[in-house]
């Protein structure tokens, strides 16, 4: 999958197989944000499962809602890269320009990218706790 430009004009890679580095919140060193980060990261596991369920059910509307929620919240917790990937998935769920088969394949790819980057954030947070 090629790189894409985010809403803010930054080029981001949607191929998470290339990226294995830790993924830290920009607020990771802020003691006042600690409890909020714990809440957000703990909730990422639930969000991953909900995304997987929406994929299995081929529920495009639910996938759109989940991506929209994550794209809106991730940046507020210092995870802009999660927000960027979630926005790409959200955008893809609104696309009406692809065949059903191609669309489903791309949605799966985008969703797996989002799941992968969320797992990296969870892993990094737990390792640093």
Number of Cβ within 10 Å of residue 91's Cβ equals 16
Q: What is d(CA 29, CA 3) in angstroms, rounded to the nearest whole number?
A: 29
Q: What is the pTM of this model?
A: 0.81
Per-residue confidence at 25, pLDDT binned at 50, 70, 90? very high
Q: Domains along the chain?
A: 37-128 (1.20.120)
78 DSSP 8-state letter: T
Per-residue confidence at 97, pLDDT binned at 50, 70, 90? low
| Predicted local confidence at residue 99, as pLDDT | 63
pLDDT per residue as tens digits for the range 39-63 = 999 999 999 999 999 999 988 899 9
Q: Using an 8 Å Cβ cutoff, are 68 and 90 in contact?
A: yes
- Per-residue tokens: 55: 């994929």
Would you say residue 83 has pLDDT above 90? yes
Q: Write phi, then psi, for 11 (nearest 5 degrees).
A: -85, 125
> What is the average pLDDT score of the chain?
86
| Predicted local confidence at residue 11, as pLDDT | 42
Task: Give the three-state DSSP class for 88.
Answer: helix
| Predicted local confidence at residue 7, as pLDDT | 42
């Amino acid at each position: 999958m090629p790189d894409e430009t985010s809403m803010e004009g930054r080029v981001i890679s949607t191929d998470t197989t290339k990226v294995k580095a830790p993924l830290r919140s920009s607020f990771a060193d802020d003691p006042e944000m600690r409890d909020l980060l714990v809440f957000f990261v703990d909730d990422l596991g639930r969000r991953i499962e909900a995304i997987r369920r929406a994929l299995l059910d081929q529920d495009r509307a639910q996938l759109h809602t989940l991506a929209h929620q994550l794209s809106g919240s991730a940046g507020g917790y210092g995870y802009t890269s999660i927000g960027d990937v979630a926005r790409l998935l959200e955008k893809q769920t609104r696309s009406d320009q692809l065949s059903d088969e191609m669309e489903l394949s791309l949605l799966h790819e985008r969703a797996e990218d989002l799941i992968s980057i969320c797992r990296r954030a969870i892993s990094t947070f737990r390792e640093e706790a």
